[in-house]
Chain A
Amino acid sequence: MAGMSYALDFERPLLELEKKIEELKTLSHTGAMDFGAEISKLEKKAARLQQEIFSELTRWQVVQLSRHPSRPYFLDYLGHLFTDFFELAGDRHFAEDASIVGGFARFEGLPVMVIGHQKGRGTKENMLRNFGMPRPEGYRKARRLMELAERFGKPILTFVDTPGAYPGIGAEERGQAEAIAVNLEVMCRLKVPIISTVIGEGGSGGALAIGVGNRILMLENSIYSVISPEACSSILYRDPTRAERAAESLKLTAKDLLGIKIIDELVPEPPGGAHRDPARATAHLGKALKRHLSELRAMSPEQLVQHRYLRFRALGSFAGR
């Protein structure tokens, strides 16, 4: 996976057209010939094509975008939206888990706690980050950091981007279910503002373990689901190749979840997805975070706890009283 060169099938026609435009531009620059008219025609075509491809993405296409290897990861946003980052490591029990990164930093000058899942780019980093799949130590580190933030009255901003919890022997032996469960309860009673943003994949319990916020935001092409489309397809259709259909059934896109009021805001991405213009994606995210944080900072500690309680207590869809 060589970063920017990776292209999804449905992106390819657009990327090829853009490559052609670049070539013509280079030729024009060298002065050999003037392709001005041709270029502007192709640019219009590219804009139209982009509109066509990205205005009606299927849910499976959104799943693919959410996992795009060139998509900005937590540390990319961290580098641009925050200053003064001081990383904190380890769960103080067993290990440091690099699939969750956290520490104090400044957001718009204000000291906050930032915590996020981190995927790797390339094989080596992915080994270190375990493809963004936390082990129990990751959740326990996150909990330690969140309690630390509360002790110092700092707001907590979490960034969710994980395929899910890691299904391994060690993770079970060291109680990953307990680690996730404790985080849910702890997050429910923390007396500081919590904003959780899904920036890529929101994979089940591994995502929720840092996702119990007063606000839940999602980037436009991110997903949040109880189970991956692949696993869902294996279990329900006994056929892992029907993930596309499972993705449709699960209704897991930001648009879906805004529609059923699970999330508070859909943060728009630039045309073609965050990876096509990371700077703009970052700017949109920063603006949304700033607004929500200032709203939450107006609330008292008791109000924050009550607000979070009511927010999650209300979630569900059933008949009768």
Chain B
Amino acid sequence: MPWFSKKPRIARAEANGKQQPSRMEGLWAKCESCDEIIYRPELEKNWNICPACGHHAPWPARTRLANLLDSGSFLENDTRLEPLDPLGFADAKRYRDRLRTTRKSLGEADAFIGGLGKIDGRTVSVGCFVFEFMGGSMGSVVGEKVARVFERAWEQKCPAIIFSASGGARMQEGIFSLMQMAKTSAALARFREVRKPYVSVMLHPTTGGVAASFAWLGDVIIAEPKALIGFAGPRVIEQTIRQKLPPGFQRAEFLVEHGMIDSIIHRKELRQKLSQVLGLLA
């Protein structure tokens, strides 16, 4: 096991096309923000928040749910849903092959986990994106699972919470992925009838079709510090307007300033704040 996960530059270039070695592998991790070298178990114990600078590194979906919900309360639903390849899509790789290898390496069938759990004893219908699965992109399975989070909340007359982290629609499913934006919004529109709160938590990053549908429709919208949130990605905007974007553009702090989200909440305070909101509204 290497002491540091950072590989020499040449090796990285050669690995082009394969999965890039993450900075979070190995016994030691290097903080993306302050370059602090952190003993990995210590980082994990700290919920993947850098002890030196407070940077919020990605946090695996299952770990997140296990820690933010009451201990042992999460019961996953919809575990049998599996993606198909409706268009027979192929880029460098066939979509169905990409699905298979991703599933094998992550042990997840697609980019979303949904179910019922409790926060301070209160039942919530909850879901969380698995960003590692094809950038958390939303295809038919993700859209279906999101819709079911709202439907379970509608049936149970309980609050809904969704943790989003997604690059947007899944191109490989073409128009089906675009239609998930409408589908999830339809399910959400119906859930509004029961007048229970829907809290949308935007993680890093939340962009494209996910941002432009249910993620931005929360009764309360919360973001983690420095999360990148927007519709068009920064690279696309730079290419279009042919100039560099100002520092901090599309970051959570920028969005609060522009009146686009309610609050930025530190990961360690998230559980307590969610409980507070639910207590006030549910």
CA distance A182 to B258 in the complex (A): 17
**B174, closest chain A residue (CB):** A250
List which B89-116 residues lie within 8 A (CB) of chain A: 89-92
- Residue A128 at the chain B interface, CB threshold 8 Å: no
List which A206-251 residues lie within 8 A (CB) of chain B: 208, 211-212, 224-227, 231-232, 235-237, 249-251
List which B66-89 residues lie within 8 A (CB) of chain A: 80-84, 86-87, 89
**A309, closest chain B residue (CB):** B186
Contact A318 B216 (CB under 8 A): no
- Residue A180 at the chain B interface, CB threshold 8 Å: yes
Contact B179 A315 (CB under 8 A): yes
- Residue A148 at the chain B interface, CB threshold 8 Å: no
Of the listed stretches A169-177, A268-276, A288-296, name the one at the interface; the rest are far from the partner chain: A169-177
CB distance from B39 to the nearest CB of A (A): 37
Interface size class of A (residues with CB under 8 A): 35 or more
Contact A185 B188 (CB under 8 A): yes
Contact A312 B182 (CB under 8 A): yes
- Residue B212 at the chain A interface, CB threshold 8 Å: yes
Contact A227 B169 (CB under 8 A): yes
**A204, closest chain B residue (CB):** B178
Given contacts A178-B260, A181-B217, contact A168 B240 (CB under 8 A): yes
CB distance from B192 to the nearest CB of A (A): 8
- Residue B10 at the chain A interface, CB threshold 8 Å: no
List which B137-162 residues lie within 8 A (CB) of chain A: 140-141, 143-144, 147
Contact A319 B175 (CB under 8 A): no
CA distance A165 to B237 in the complex (A): 11
CA distance A184 to B184 in the complex (A): 9
Which 6 residue pairs are nearest across A and B when measured between Cβ atoms?
A: A316-B140, A167-B232, A320-B80, A184-B185, A236-B91, A317-B86
Chain B interfacial positions (CB closer than 8 Å to A) = 80-84, 86-87, 89-92, 140-141, 143-144, 147, 169, 171, 173-183, 185-190, 192, 207-209, 211-217, 229-232, 236-237, 240-241, 245, 249-250, 258, 260
